[in-house]
Amino acid sequence: MSKTYNVCVVGVGAVGAEMVRLLRRRHFPVKSLTILARRERVETIDGVEYPVKPAAPEAFDGMDFAFFAGTEGAKGASQTLGWEAVRRGCIVIDNGDDFRMDPRVPLVVPEINPDALKNHQGFIANPNCSTIIALMALAPIHRAVGLRRIIACTYQAVSGTGAPAIVELDRQVRAWAAKEPLTVEVYPKQIAFNVLPQIGSAKDPSGQTTEEMKLRRETHKILGDDSIRVSATCVRVPVFNGHSEALHVETRNPISPEEARALLAQAPGVTLMDDVANGVFPTPIECSGRYETLVGRLRRDEALDNGLAMFVCGDNIWKGAAQNAIQIAELLIA
């Protein structure tokens, strides 16, 4: 019989629930599945009731894998329990951002930098969702001709904030349709029929938000090249699920849109949707619930030397979070 593993998921919000779904959908070799959270209760996912146990150090005894299910920018559980789980013999794969830039911790997208898992110390980090989705399209181009500059504008779905933000968008749309007052709780301003050009905090003197800084720092770590210049504007949009990004890049060596299409057509985890004349291009609705990152609108960018522009979409809760974490575990098993 093939080996099976004791698995726990820490947190059962938007990302944690999808981790549970994807472990089943991807036929991960689970011997036992334990869900941990702040308090004991029962959660129902797809009609199946799961007992939730309080997260505590002893809960990791006997576990093989622990998936920490933080959402965008989430801090907390892995900060207090992550390394303790490692000390108890568990491999931690963390979706939060506490340890992404820690030199002890590899930051991994399996299709891009699987070699980063060599000599890991039991703790592995998932990159931020917007970084993963961008680099799925850009890493093949970087390997071929090198990247000098990335200018990214992201259009990020509310699911990245978590389940309460999904509820808020739904409630605001229903209130608008009923001609009732719209209430604001999760975001600083109304999100329905609006866009918010702030994701994360904006305490840096440069004016960048934490989300924008993550895209730069994580790109450098994953691609192993600190010389790439990265400029990002990250925007929250009234979309339930699926992040979109307009990417404008300057390459070190020339590459035509036709050559880029050929590269991306062969790239693992990428689906090319690039026939704008016939209405074929990525949208967040089409990427939601898909494993692949969708890439289209490939064209020259005349404003940059060796410039290339594209539009990418990816499921931020799947490839941008839960799926990528499970793929890391699958790669370790393989």
Q: What is the DSSP string of 161-197?
A: T-HHHHHHHHHHHHHHHTT-PPP-SSSSS--TT--BS
CA–CA distance, 273 with 283 (Å, rounded to integer):
10
Closest CA to 307 of 149, 131, 136, 143: 149
Concerning whether 153 is annotated as a catalytic residue, the answer is no
| 287 counts as catalytic | no
| CB burial of residue 240 (10 Å; 0-12, 13-18, 19+) | middle
Say how far residue 188 (Cα) sits from the centre of its chain: 23
User: What whole-number distance in Å separates Cα of residue 303 and Cα of residue 220?
Assistant: 23
Catalytic residue among 90, 142, 234, 243: 243
The Cα 94–Cα 87 span in angstroms is 15
**Catalytic: which of 8, 129, 234, 313?**
129
233 beta partners: 153
Catalytic residue numbers read: 129, 243
